[in-house]
């Protein structure tokens, strides 16, 4: 719940005349006596930063934000000045532990060095920042183990880039099957499980000789059955014997290549005169009509 006009809240910030950054432990106090303890190696910047975060409702500490929305003023107090920047966190940690257990303390963690695993509020669930629960299942779809996120499943199963599994590789990685879960922790079964993706682009020589031969035979069979029509831009190629007799006619260079040459470049060079001025190639003569 937001106050009617957040900009009307009075911020009492002590004036700092020093042009150099000041290291200190501070206390932020609200109307009803609630307070928050923190530290910074640049106290002036930190206090004005807090003013910006509170006025713009930045969701860092929900309990602190709720108290701010009910307050008319926020007062900053310097608890202790610290000469060594490396000792600031240690001094903050000591002050938090001395006040731990006070119901008015708004700090969510007893440790000043890390807030990992600490909820934003006592009465509210931690926001998962878009994380999606994931389950490891067997072939029958029965849940074996549940993880709070894809990153958690990667860490516990020693898998890299598990997110790609849900997009491309049939939801299976290293022999394990993974599925996403809905809000009620029910397994979401996709309508169509995708196969391995095709390679981007065409890499010359990627196909095996067996595959190339199969493609040639398939093209010949389809061409003989009249399944292909000659494109308008293609050139008709005639194949002659050494005596000048017409052996066969092809509707395009591609068709002639599939029947007579291992690759299209060699026959193209023959037809253009770069490789053979007479058009001779492997016992025959090739000409454009």
| DSSP structure string for the chain | ---S-GGGSEEE------SS---EEEEEE-TTS-EEEEEESSHHHHHHHHHHHHHTT--S-HHHHHHHHT-SEEEEEEEEE-S-GGGHHHHHHHHHHHHTT-TTB--S-S-SS--TT--S-SSSPPP-TT---EEEE-TT--EEEEESSHHHHHHHHT-S-GGGGGTTSTTEETTEEEEEB-TT--B---SS---PPPPSS--TT-S-HHHHHHHHHHHHHHHHTT-----TT---EEEE-TTS-EEEEESSHHHHHHHH-SSHHHHHHHHHTSS-TT-EETTEEEEE-
The b-or-e profile of 131-169 (16+ CB within 10 A means b, else e) is: eebbbbbeeeeeeeeebebbeebbeeeeeeebeebbeee
Q: At the top level of CATH, which class does the domain 209-288 belong to?
A: mainly alpha
**According to the model, what pLDDT value does residue 119 have?**
63
Q: What is the pLDDT of residue 128?
A: 47
At 129 the pLDDT is 47
Q: What is the pLDDT of residue 35?
A: 93
Q: What is the pTM of this model?
A: 0.43
Q: Same fold for the domain at 129-198 and the one at 209-288?
A: yes
Domain boundaries of the chain, sorted by first residue: 6-99, 129-198, 209-288
What confidence tens digit (pLDDT) does each residue in 50-77 have? 998 888 888 777 888 888 888 889 999 9
Give the per-residue pLDDT at 37: 93
Residues with Cβ within 8 Å of 259's Cβ and at least 6 positions away in sequence, in order, are: 216, 220, 248, 250
pLDDT by residue for the chain (289 residues), tens only, comes to 344 455 678 999 998 888 888 999 999 999 888 999 999 999 999 999 999 888 888 877 788 888 888 888 999 999 999 998 888 988 999 999 999 889 899 888 888 876 665 666 665 544 444 567 788 888 777 888 888 777 778 778 877 767 665 654 446 777 777 887 777 778 777 655 554 445 555 455 556 777 778 877 877 777 777 666 555 567 788 888 888 788 888 877 777 877 777 666 777 777 777 777 667 777 788 887 7
By the 8 A CB rule, do 131 and 149 touch?
Answer: yes
pLDDT at 196: 47
Least Cα distance to 177 among 146, 135, 148, 149 occurs for 135
When the candidates are 3.30.70, 1.10.3470, 3.90.320, 1.10.10, the CATH number that belongs to 129-198 is: 1.10.10
Token digits of residue 225: 């059955």
């Amino acid at each position: 719940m937001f106050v009617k006009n957040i900009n009307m809240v009075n911020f009492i910030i002590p004036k700092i005349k020093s042009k150099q950054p000041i290291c200190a432990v501070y206390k932020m106090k609200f109307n009803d006596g609630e307070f928050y303890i923190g530290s910074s190696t640049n106290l002036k910047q930190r206090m004005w930063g807090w003013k910006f975060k509170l006025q713009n409702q930045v969701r860092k500490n929900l309990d602190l934000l709720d108290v701010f929305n009910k307050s008319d003023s926020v007062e900053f107090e310097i608890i202790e000045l610290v000469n060594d920047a490396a000792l600031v966190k240690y001094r903050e940690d000591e002050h938090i532990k001395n006040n731990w257990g006070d119901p008015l303390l708004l700090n969510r963690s007893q440790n000043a060095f890390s807030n990992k695993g600490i909820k934003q509020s006592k009465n509210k669930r931690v926001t998962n920042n878009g994380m999606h629960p994931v389950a490891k299942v067997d072939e029958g779809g029965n849940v074996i183990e549940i993880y709070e996120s894809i990153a958690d499943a990667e860490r516990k199963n020693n898998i890299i880039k598990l997110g790609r599994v849900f997009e491309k590789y049939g939801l299976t990685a290293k022999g394990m099957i993974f599925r996403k879960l809905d809000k009620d922790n029910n397994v979401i079964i996709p309508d169509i499980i995708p196969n391995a993706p095709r390679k981007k682009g065409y890499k010359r020589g990627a196909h095996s000789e067996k595959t190339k031969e199969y493609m040639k035979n398939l093209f010949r069979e389809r061409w003989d059955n009249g399944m292909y029509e000659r494109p308008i831009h293609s050139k008709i190629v005639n194949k002659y014997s050494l005596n000048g007799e017409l052996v066969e006619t092809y509707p395009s260079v591609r068709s002639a290549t599939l029947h007579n040459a291992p690759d299209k470049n060699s026959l193209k060079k023959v037809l253009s005169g770069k490789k053979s001025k007479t058009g001779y190639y492997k016992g025959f003569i090739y000409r454009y009509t």
